[in-house]
Amino acid sequence: MEKTDKKKSIKDYLHTIERTRLLRNTSEELGELVGFSIAKGNGLARMGGKSPFIKDAIFRELAYIVYQETELDLQEVLDVYDEADSICEDMKKPTDPASFCRNLVRYFYAEGEATDDIKPYIDDIQPKHIPILVLLMLKLLPRCSAKGGDISQDEIKENYLTLFDWMTDIVKENAILQELPMLAIMKEKVRDDADIMCRIHLIYTTNLILNAYGVLSTKERAGISNTILQENRFDPEIEGLWVENDATTVFWLFERIVNGYHLYRYQLNSKRKVLMFTKYFMIFQHYEKNEEATVIHPQTAQYLVTGKKIPNRLIAHLDFQKEANDCNEREVTLSFSPQASCGSWFKLKHLKRSINETSFRKMLEQYEQIDSNPDDDYTFTIALAAITHEHLYIHKDGKSYYKVPKSTDDLLSNIGIDSNVGVLEFSKTADGHSTTYLGFDDVSLYYDVSTPEAMAEHQIEIVDNIVV
């Protein structure tokens, strides 16, 4: 598909700005921006009459405003908009535009495979086209020749939220990334009805989000992702027993650990004197005013250590809120709600502190406890002992260490003394077999150390001393 390099005139640019409501959502708002009424027969491109100088001055002033608001080059945006529009025009309309766009983003930003639906077009698409092309195909931007007219504040806000939901789904399916602070910031601005909410800013936001996704999405870049994760992690101080709606048979126990919380859901059968439980891993993060919780199902560990993609159903991303009663500081409630389509499997909504923790602790001692996921039961013990120029040392027991060469994987050079490094051990199976891994959680690396043969594969040794 060859494109003719037809140079756009300033008048063409002004026409596109007006038709697409690119800089402001209505002709009235655009008129206020340029200082006179833009009505039918008196459009932006007619300003200045036949004087190229005046039209050029108008365009330069608009470009300056855009740069001040977004640091985007208006002429460059309009050129890419036109190119993306032409690509969209020549494409065969996909049956599932959202899936098509996801595949484009994976290919251009996350080193994904070229799927059959995008293969016919990728030679004609450059990375610069993707933000606008995605918005066009998701119908969040009008075509360049559009005559749709004004867009309301509610409509532009809905477009932002559509982009948020679509991009959230892409991020959440990425086992390495899982979180993107830029999305939380975007949602916060939409919630607050930010003053700057128009199509040029939607392009700017899409570009920021996709660039952030590209930087953080691959395994090789996981060290950067973890830095952001660690910076935004916080402890809501909720250790202890909680119940939902004064329940007497279901209890939620938060247990603080080094890198987050274990969350146990207990189901009581008082007649059988049995407590059936599921143990989740949970972390809390904050981005500006937003607080979020990520709940990870115990089955996730099996996917991590084998390098398999983690299914969406095993990770829940929730908005989180902790509130105290103004009249009684001891009355604290926790609220959870799924973000977009992520986390709907985790049904927890509201919790309050249980007044029966003492009696529940006695039940833990006296009743039989049955793990609802026995094959996935594991312990992860933070155990990094030392970092030298060439090796990492991890506590094996009180007398010896695992000695891991940094040369095993380039990502190991990203490990710091505060990194989540330790020993991950799955419970013994019916045949008495247990599996042990060294886990470098921050960079998603896991090495089997259950046998001498497994350790030899990565040149891991057991030593008695640390050699600096």
For the cut 60, the answer to whether the pLDDT of residue 342 exceeds it is: no
Separation of CA 249 from chain center: 35
The CA distance from 175 to 307, in Å, is 10
pLDDT digits (tens, 9 = 90+) for 113-151: 888 999 999 888 998 999 999 999 999 999 988 877 888
- The pLDDT of residue 40 is above 80: no
Decide if 252 contacts 264 (C-beta within 8 A).
Answer: yes
Each residue's pLDDT tens digit, 216-260: 555 444 443 344 455 678 899 999 999 998 778 999 999 998 778
Q: In the predicted model, what is the mean pLDDT of residues 5-17?
A: 80
Longest dimension (CA), the chain: 91
For tokens 């039989």, what's the residue?
368
| CA 325 to chain CA centroid, nearest Å | 32
* Coil/strand/helix, residue 94: coil
pLDDT for the residue 393 = 96
**395-402: average pLDDT:** 90
The pLDDT-based confidence of 112 (bands split at 50, 70, 90) is confident
Q: What percent of the chain has pLDDT over 90?
A: 33
What was the pLDDT predicted at 288?
65
Give the Cα separation of 457 and 447 in Å (integer). 9
163-177, 245-259, 297-311: least confident range = 163-177
Q: Is residue 284 within 8 Å of residue 336, measured between CB atoms?
A: no
Q: Which pLDDT value is given to residue 49?
A: 66
d(CA 417, CA 419): 6
What residue type is assigned to position 327 of the chain?
Answer: C
Q: What is the pLDDT of residue 326?
A: 65
pLDDT given at position 186: 65
* Sign of CA pseudo-dihedral 230, 166, 72, 70: negative
Residue 142 CB partners (closer than 8 Å, separation 6+): 19, 20, 21, 148
CA distance 18 to 26: 9
- Examine the pLDDT at 429 and tell me if it is beyond 60: no
Q: Label residue 175 by pLDDT band (50, 70, 90).
A: very low
Sheet with 378-382, side-by-side order of all strands: 378-382, 421-426, 435-440, 445-448
Q: Are 44 and 15 in contact (CB under 8 A)?
A: yes
Q: How confident is the model at residue 177 (pLDDT cuts 50, 70, 90)?
A: very low
The answer on pLDDT for 396 being more than 60 is: yes
- What's the rounded Cα separation, in Å, for the pair 459 and 446? 14
Question: CA torsion, points 206, 212, 218, 222, in degrees to nearest 10?
Answer: -160
Question: What confidence score (pLDDT) does residue 233 get?
Answer: 83
Q: Lowest-pLDDT range, 72-76, 262-266, 419-423, 440-444? A: 440-444
Q: How far from each other are the two terminal CA atoms of the chain, in whole angstroms?
A: 60
pLDDT tens digits, one per residue of 266-299: 999 988 999 999 999 898 988 766 788 888 888 8
Which range, 39-48, 64-73, 180-189, 192-201, has the best average confidence (pLDDT)? 64-73
CA atoms within 13 A on the CB side of 313: 1
Assess whether pLDDT exceeds 90 at residue 426.
no
Judge if pTM exceeds 0.75.
Answer: no
Looking at per-residue pLDDT, the higher value among 325 and 158 belongs to 158
Q: Are 373 and 299 in contact (CB under 8 A)?
A: yes
* DSSP H or E stretch at residue 378: strand 378-382
Distance between CA atoms of residues 424 and 379, nearest Å = 6
